[in-house]
């Protein structure tokens, strides 16, 4: 069965720290120790581990079971009187434990050996806050699962079949019969059925009472029915008229119902047709929207492609422009190279020409030099001949001529020197003038070239500036486009955010209004019923909050508080209308309502003096606007109530001596006539504020729809089209910026060149000016030199005339001429020789090879430049071709874009048209639905009228069946009608009564004329005819005065009899069911109780005999138990009687203390034998036993522990005689070294005795051996 192997206690009561108690032997274990060491705490630890609550462990709460060092130190220092105080039961210790703060947790682990090699560990712990936790083998369990796990091993926590507390033996011995019966119920488990038994018995008695009441009702109704028989000729005629009127009414209802259902069917067909058309239009709209999105994506893709092509074209144009610039530069270099080549070639040609010319000139010079020599010889000869002729002509000899000539030469020598000097100076001036003129011409030529370069650069700069302006305009346009795209995106984002914020605000406001308008289902039904009342009863005017409203919104809360619940009061014309409305409310079971009849209401008069209080105080009726016809009702509801702005002003008016009924501030604080103040009106103002704010809610809903429509038009956040447009605009901006930067760089270079050319022009201009001045000076000096030579020559001629006299100067001059000629020839000869030497030297100095190499280099450079120009031209052609292709692709894409945009425009038009068609169809559908709702409303009104007038429009068979059902149901017909299954009417709404919407309506009353009346006038004529017939019959009916009360009473009695019969049948069934449940509970409870009682009754005598058997009385005493109630033993008591040896038979309460203890122990052991727990734990059961009885009890326990099926017994005792019979001892003591915590010592007596006997057996042979 199992046994307790050991116990591990941690911080439990007096056991501080972790303490291992055990091992416990299978048999009888005695726990010993002096008072106050914590023996009973060991019992509490076992009970705690086995799931007992705190009240069985001598504590109020589980937290009191946790070890506290300071508390035990205090207790140890006190003078304790017994074990009970030390173990924590006295009040002072418990108060100390409660007041102290728990400094840890407690836990107890019980090792239960259920098989030789199987141990279950049951652990129960207490946390600091006093919460218990349960574990079995380390698995957390609930308390119920923990108890179930213990019950699997016959350890019953509720019955406590494993534990006998201190003084519990005496309690058992002194229990009354009822208490013993309760103990047996706990042990047997029949107490678990006590509640079920009591409830079943109460239901039986209640069913019997209901059945008795039904029988009494039936007897009374039969007596009434027997008394009511009589007299009804006129009543029969009256009933016939009623039947005719009912038939006409039924015919009118059927006529209306027939045409309403017909109209509803037609409206349903039209609605379905419109819904199908609307569904098709919506599907087409979805298709169009999908196609539109596809086209938009295609358009965005085309635009991206177009932007890429534009970017590529601009890059190609930029490359082309760079190519052209490079070509221009290369062509300029080629022209310079061509010019250099031409110059070098010209130099080479000139060299070769000059060499040929030089050779010819050398030959000519040599020839001329020879001719000059010949001329000199000829001149000498001619001079000799001229002298001879002169001598012959003037008779002067040659010496005189020579002398005169020499004299003339001598006299003019200085002048001739001056002439020679002047001629040389003139020649030098002429050479200088020629140099200056050549220099001026060169400077002017260079100036003109620079001017051409300047003009070319100026034109190029102007072109570049124009391009820059265009680029800047394009950049500005691109920047504007980019900014527009960004701004448009930002504006759309801001607009979207603003719209979303507005939508959220509208939603929050609508949510507030919805919260303010939130109604329960009952209130909603009441409002629907109120709408029905307003339609059915013309005299109903509406609620107070419907017929009035504050003149300003600031008064709404105050007026709502003043109106209170009367704000929902319904205003009617008179009491008759109020009574009809009340009857209708009862019929519909829609709750209660207050009705204010305008004709009968008598409100208190208005106190006019209250209007003169002043300040912000105003009569509540003055801040309301309403129709004058409702003045009595408003005056009745509001009375002399006042409103004001502030609470201080309200207090001043209310407590200042004025006779004020009520005064309310605009924030809802109300001061009653009694002076009591209530704040706010959150619970009362909801309905009135909701109705007053209904228009605002509608306006908010409309504005929310507009905002949501705007959001839908904006499209999704960060759409692909917006992103593509923004990226395209940004790419165009970056491309334009790069192109502008390149143009600016090129402009800067050209401007630098222009500045350089301008500076060169300025410098050349100064040089030209200086050269012109210098050339003018040289020319002027030359002219002066030429004039000076002429003057010197004239002076020489005058001087020679004076000296020669008659001799003709011509002769002298001829000699001079000869001399000059000779001089000229000599000079010419010298020049020719010098030139001939120069030509010889120049021909030797000039190298033709250098010029040839220079020409070859210039030719190679020119060819390289031509190659580069050709390459650039080919690149130009390629770029131009690519640009043309890009332009063609752009044109093609532009055409595709135009087609896509045209298709998009058509789709948008179609979508717009579809939206208009859908809106039109939706409006038409809403109109049809409104018509259907109107038809449904008329059907519901017709149904209500049928219920009120009790018109049954079903076919006779269905009505008869319903009548039989009503006969069976008697007075519950209305409840059953409401309990019918809900069906759906033509309009789709649900109806509580399926009569008007059933298929088995009695349409046989309708004639062909009734069925084929289609026009409104025909229908009105038929209804008018039916109304006239009904009025005629009603007039005849009103002239009659039959006594119908008897007939109604008989019908009512019959219905009540049927209802009573039904109730009687239900009561009989309920009685039978309750009786069955009670019998089942009684039998099971009796079985469990008798099973335990019979077992104990059989075994208790044997147990008592063993406990009282002695050598003097070997048979021992006898014990018996008997029942006071045999049928239901648990309701009575149990008599426990014993007869001790040599004594007479007596009741237990007549025995002495020791005898009672023996009897109680016999009962405990017998009960334990019924619920066999693996172990039994007892605390000081020997307190009242004398040594003899103590020996018998110990012997019994010892004997049971050594049986073939022993059970484990753990007994706490203070008596030494009890220890002697134990198989093992567990000693408990206080350890002062550990804070006086309880500690354990164990001793296995059987093992000790066996070891001693073994030692003695070993020593005995040695002592008795022969010497």
- DSSP secondary structure string for all residues of 1157-1206: HHHHHHHHHHHHHHS--SEEEEESTTTT--HHHHHHHHHHHHHHHTSSS-
Compute the distance between CA of residue 331 and CA of residue 324 in angstroms, rounded to an integer.
10
Count Cβ atoms below 10 Å from residue 572 Cβ, excluding itself. 28
Query: Which CATH code for domain 3-162+1173-1261?
Result: 3.40.50.300
User: How many Cα atoms are found within 13 Å in the side-chain-facing hemisphere of 297?
Assistant: 5
pLDDT band at residue 1260 under the 50/70/90 scheme: low
Q: What is the pLDDT of residue 400?
A: 67
pLDDT band at residue 100 using 50, 70 and 90 as cut-offs:
very low
Between these two residues, 49 and 955, which has the higher pLDDT value?
A: 49
Residue 694 in this model has a pLDDT that exceeds 60 = no
Give the residue-averaged pLDDT of 745-765.
84
Q: What is the pLDDT of residue 90?
A: 37
Query: Collapsing DSSP states into helix, strand and coil, what is residue 296?
Result: helix
The predicted pLDDT at position 385 comes to: 74
Tell me phi and psi for residue 998, to 5 degrees. -75, 160
pLDDT at 644: 92
Which of 11, 27, 28, 9 minimizes the C-alpha distance to 19? Answer: 9
pLDDT at 968: 46
**Dihedral sign, Cα of residue 650, residue 656, residue 659, residue 661:** positive
What distance in Å separates the CA atoms of residue 111 and residue 198, rounded to the nearest whole number?
A: 40
DSSP 10-67: EEETTEEEEEEE-PPPSSEEEEE--TTSSHHHHHHHHHHHTT--GGGGT-SSGGGGB-
Query: Looking at the predicted structure, is the pLDDT value of residue 577 above 50?
Result: yes
CATH 3.40.50.300 range(s) for the chain read 3-162+1173-1261
Residue 684 has pLDDT above 50, yes or no: no
More confident residue, 465 or 1149: 465
What pLDDT band is residue 533 in, cutting at 50, 70 and 90?
confident
**pLDDT the model gives residue 699:** 63
- On the 0-12 / 13-18 / 19+ scale of CB atoms within 10 A, 399 is exposed
Confidence of residue 312 (pLDDT cuts 50, 70, 90): confident
Higher per-residue confidence, 755 vs 243: 755
Query: pLDDT of 408-424, one tens digit each?
Result: 767 777 887 787 888 78
Contacts 24+ apart (CB under 8 A), 291-294: 291/907, 292/904, 292/907, 292/908, 292/911
Report the chain's mean pLDDT, rounded to a whole number.
76
Say how far apart CA 1165 and CA 169 lie, in whole Å.
11
Closest CA to 318 of 732, 743, 871, 891: 743
In the chain, CATH 3.30.70.1620 sits at: 512-707
pLDDT beyond 60 at 80: no
Span 545-569, average pLDDT: 86
Instruction: Please check the confidence at residue 634 and state whether its pLDDT lies above 80.
Output: yes
1026 vs 659, residue with greater confidence: 1026
Q: What share of the chain is helix, strand, coil (3-state, %, to 5)?
A: 70, 10, 20
Q: Cα(924)–Cα(903) distance, rounded to whole angstroms?
A: 30
Residue-level pLDDT at 94: 36
Please report which confidence band the pLDDT of residue 1 belongs to, taking 50, 70 and 90 as the band edges.
low
Which residues on adjacent β-strands are paired with residue 1243?
1225
pTM of the full structure: 0.37
Tell me the C-alpha distance between 968 and 1063, whole Å: 11
Of the pLDDT bands very low, low, confident and very high (cuts 50, 70, 90), residue 93 is very low
pLDDT at 519 over 50: no
Report the share of the chain in percent with pLDDT over 90: 1
Within 10 A of 1134 (CB to CB), how many other CB atoms are there? 26
Going edge to edge, which strands form the sheet with 28-32? 163-164, 1175-1179, 1208-1212, 28-32, 1224-1231, 1237-1244
Count Cβ atoms below 10 Å from residue 555 Cβ, excluding itself.
20
Give pLDDT, residue 1041. Answer: 63
* pLDDT higher than threshold 50 for residue 92: no
Asked: is 512-707 a CATH 3.30.70.1620 domain? The reply is yes
Q: How confident is the model at residue 664 (pLDDT cuts 50, 70, 90)?
A: very high
Residue 366 near residue 840 (C-beta atoms within 8 A): no
Task: Compute φ and ψ for 419, nearest 5 degrees.
Answer: -65, -45
Q: How confident is the model at residue 962 (pLDDT cuts 50, 70, 90)?
A: low
Q: What is the pLDDT at residue 665? A: 92
What gap in Å lies between CA 1138 and CA 387, rounded to an integer? 218
| Dist CA 1024 CA 1015 (whole Å) | 14
Confidence grade of residue 975 (pLDDT, cut at 50, 70, 90): very low
Question: CA–CA distance from 934 to each of 2, 252, 939 (Å)?
Answer: 82, 19, 8
Mean pLDDT for 641-661 is: 83
Q: Which pLDDT score is estimated for 643? A: 92
The CA angle 737-741-742, to the nearest 5 degrees, is 120
Q: What angle do CA 868, 869, 874 make, to 5 degrees?
A: 95
651 contacts: CB under 8 Å, gap ≥ 6:
671
Instruction: Look at residue 999 in the predicted model and tell me its pLDDT.
Output: 54
């Amino acid at each position: 069965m199992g046994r307790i192997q050991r116990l591990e206690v941690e911080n439990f009561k007096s056991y501080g720290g972790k303490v291992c108690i055990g091992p416990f032997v299978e048999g009888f274990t005695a726990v010993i120790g002096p008072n106050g060491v914590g023996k009973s705490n060991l019992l509490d630890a076992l009970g705690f581990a086995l799931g007992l609550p705190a009240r069985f462990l001598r504590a109020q709460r589980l937290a009191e079971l946790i070890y506290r060092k300071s508390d035990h130190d205090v207790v140890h220092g006190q003078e304790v009187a017994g074990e009970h105080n030390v173990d924590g039961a006295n009040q002072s210790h418990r108060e100390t434990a409660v007041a102290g703060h728990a400094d840890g947790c407690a836990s107890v682990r019980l090792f239960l050996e259920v098989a030789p090699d199987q141990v279950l560990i049951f652990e129960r712990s207490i946390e600091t806050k006093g919460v218990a936790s349960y574990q079995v083998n380390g698995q957390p369990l609930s308390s119920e699962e923990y108890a179930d796990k213990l019950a699997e091993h016959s350890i019953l926590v509720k019955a406590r079949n494993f534990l006998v507390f201190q003084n519990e033996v005496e309690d058992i011995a002194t229990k009354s019969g009822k208490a013993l019966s309760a103990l047996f119920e706990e042990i047997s488990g029949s107490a678990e059925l006590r509640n079920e038994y009591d409830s079943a018995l109460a239901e039986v008695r209640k069913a019997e009472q209901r059945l008795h009441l039904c029988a009494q009702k039936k007897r009374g109704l039969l007596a009434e029915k027997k008394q009511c028989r009589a007299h009804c000729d006129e009543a029969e005629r009256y009933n016939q008229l009623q039947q005719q009127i009912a038939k006409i009414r039924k015919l009118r209802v059927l006529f209306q119902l027939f045409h309403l259902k017909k109209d509803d069917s037609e409206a349903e067909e039209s609605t379905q047709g419109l819904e199908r058309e609307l569904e098709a239009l919506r599907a087409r709209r979805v298709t169009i929207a999908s196609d539109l999105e596809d086209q938009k994506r295609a358009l965005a893709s085309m635009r991206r492609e177009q932007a890429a092509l534009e970017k590529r074209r601009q890059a190609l144009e930029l490359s082309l422009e760079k190519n052209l610039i490079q070509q221009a530069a290369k062509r300029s270099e080629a022209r310079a190279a061509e010019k250099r080549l031409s110059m070098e070639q010209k130099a080479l040609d000139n060299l070769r020409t000059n060499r040929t010319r030089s050779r010819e000139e050398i030959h000519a010079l040599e020839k001329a030099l020879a001719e000059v020599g010949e001329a000199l010889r000829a001149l000498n000869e001619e001079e000799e001949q001229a002298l001879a002729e002169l001598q012959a002509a003037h008779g002067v000899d040659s010496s005189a001529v020579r002398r005169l000539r020499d004299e003339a030469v001598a006299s003019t020598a200085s002048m001739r020197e001056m002439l020679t000097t002047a001629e040389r100076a003139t020649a030098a001036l002429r050479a200088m003038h020629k140099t200056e003129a050549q220099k001026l011409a060169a400077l002017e030529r260079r100036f003109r070239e620079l001017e051409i370069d300047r003009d070319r650069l100026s034109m190029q700069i102007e072109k570049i500036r124009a391009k820059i302006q265009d680029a800047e305009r394009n950049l500005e346009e691109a920047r504007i486009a980019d900014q527009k795209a960004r701004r448009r995106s930002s504006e759309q984002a801001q607009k979207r955010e603003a719209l979303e914020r507005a939508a959220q605000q509208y939603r929050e406001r609508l949510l507030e209004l919805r919260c303010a308008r939130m109604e329960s289902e009952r209130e909603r039904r009441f409002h629907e019923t109120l709408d029905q009342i307003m339609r059915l009863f013309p005299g109903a005017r509406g609620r107070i909050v419907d017929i009035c409203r504050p003149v300003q919104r600031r008064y709404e809360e105050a007026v709502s508080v003043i109106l209170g619940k009367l704000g929902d009061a319904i205003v009617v014309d008179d009491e008759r209308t109020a009574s009809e409305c009340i009857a209708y409310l009862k019929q519909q079971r829609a709750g209660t309502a207050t009705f204010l009849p305008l004709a009968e209401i008598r409100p208190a008069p208005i106190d006019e003096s209250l209007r003169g209080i002043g300040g912000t105080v105003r009569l509540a009726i003055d801040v309301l606007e309403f129709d004058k016809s409702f003045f009595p009702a408003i005056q009745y509801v509001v009375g002399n109530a006042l409103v004001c702005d502030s609470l201080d002003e309200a207090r001043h008016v209310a407590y200042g001596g004025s006779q004020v009924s009520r005064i309310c501030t605009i924030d809802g604080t109300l001061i009653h006539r009694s002076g009591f103040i209530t704040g706010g009106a959150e619970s009362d103002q909801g309905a009135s504020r909701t109705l007053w704010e209904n228009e605002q809610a509608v306006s908010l809903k409309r504005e929310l729809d507009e905002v949501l429509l705007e959001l839908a038009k904006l499209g999704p956040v960060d759409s692909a089209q917006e992103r593509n447009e923004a990226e395209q605009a940004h790419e165009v901006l970056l491309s334009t910026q790069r192109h502008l930067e390149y143009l600016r760089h090129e402009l800067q270079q050209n401007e630098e060149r222009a500045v350089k050319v301008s500076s060169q022009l300025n410098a050349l201009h100064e040089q030209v000016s200086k050269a012109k001045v210098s050339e003018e000076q040289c020319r002027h000096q030359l002219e002066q030199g030429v004039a000076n030579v002429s003057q010197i020559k004239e002076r020489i001629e005058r001087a020679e005339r004076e000296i020669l006299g008659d001799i003709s100067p011509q002769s002298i001059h001829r000699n001079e001429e000869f001399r000059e000629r000779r001089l000229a020839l000599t000079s010419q000869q010298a020049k020719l020789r010098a030139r001939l030497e120069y030509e010889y030297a120049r021909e030797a100095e000039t190298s033709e090879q250098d010029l040839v190499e220079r020409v070859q280099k210039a030719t190679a450079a020119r060819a390289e430049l031509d190659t580069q120009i050709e390459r650039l031209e080919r690149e130009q052609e390629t770029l131009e071709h690519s640009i043309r292709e890009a332009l063609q692709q752009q044109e093609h894409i532009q055409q595709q874009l135009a087609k896509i945009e045209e298709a998009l425009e058509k789709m948008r038009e179609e979508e717009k048209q579809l939206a208009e068609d859908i809106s039109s169809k939706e409006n038409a559908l809403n109109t049809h639905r409104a018509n259907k709702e109107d038809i449904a409303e008329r059907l519901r009104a017709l149904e209500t009228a049928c219920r009120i007038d009790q018109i049954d429009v079903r076919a006779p068979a269905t009505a008869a069946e319903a009548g039989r059902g009503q006969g069976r149901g008697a007075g519950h017909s209305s409840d059953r009608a409401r309990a019918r299954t809900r069906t759906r009417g033509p309009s789709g709404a649900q109806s509580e009564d399926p009569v008007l919407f059933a298929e088995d309506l009695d349409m046989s009353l309708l004639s062909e004329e009734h069925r084929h009346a289609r026009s409104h006038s025909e229908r009105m004529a038929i209804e008018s005819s039916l109304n006239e017939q009904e009025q005629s019959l009603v007039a005849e009916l009103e002239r009659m005065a039959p006594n119908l009360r008897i007939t109604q009473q008989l019908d009512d009695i019959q219905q009540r009899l049927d209802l009573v019969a039904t109730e009687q049948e239900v009561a009989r069934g309920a009685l039978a069911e309750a009786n069955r449940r009670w019998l089942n509970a009684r039998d099971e409870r009796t079985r469990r109780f008798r099973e335990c009682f019979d077992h104990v009754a059989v075994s208790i005598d044997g147990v008592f005999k063993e406990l009282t058997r002695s050598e003097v009385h070997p048979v021992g005493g006898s014990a018996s138990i008997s029942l006071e109630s045999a049928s239901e033993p648990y309701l009575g008591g149990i008599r426990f009687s014993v007869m001790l040896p040599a004594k007479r038979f007596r009741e237990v309460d007549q025995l002495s203390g020791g005898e009672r203890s023996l009897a109680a122990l016999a009962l405990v052991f017998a009960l334990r034998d019924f619920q066999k727990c693996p172990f039994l734990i007892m605390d000081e059961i020997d307190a009242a036993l004398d040594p003899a009885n103590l020996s018998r009890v110990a012997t019994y326990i010892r004997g049971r522990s050594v049986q073939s099926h022993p059970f484990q017994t753990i007994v706490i005792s203070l008596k030494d005689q009890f220890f002697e019979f134990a198989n093992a001892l567990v000693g408990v003591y206080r350890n002062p070294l550990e804070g006086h915590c309880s500690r354990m010592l164990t001793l296995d007596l059987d093992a000790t005795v066996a070891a001693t006997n073994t030692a003695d057996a070993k020593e005995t042979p040695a002592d008795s051996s022969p010497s």
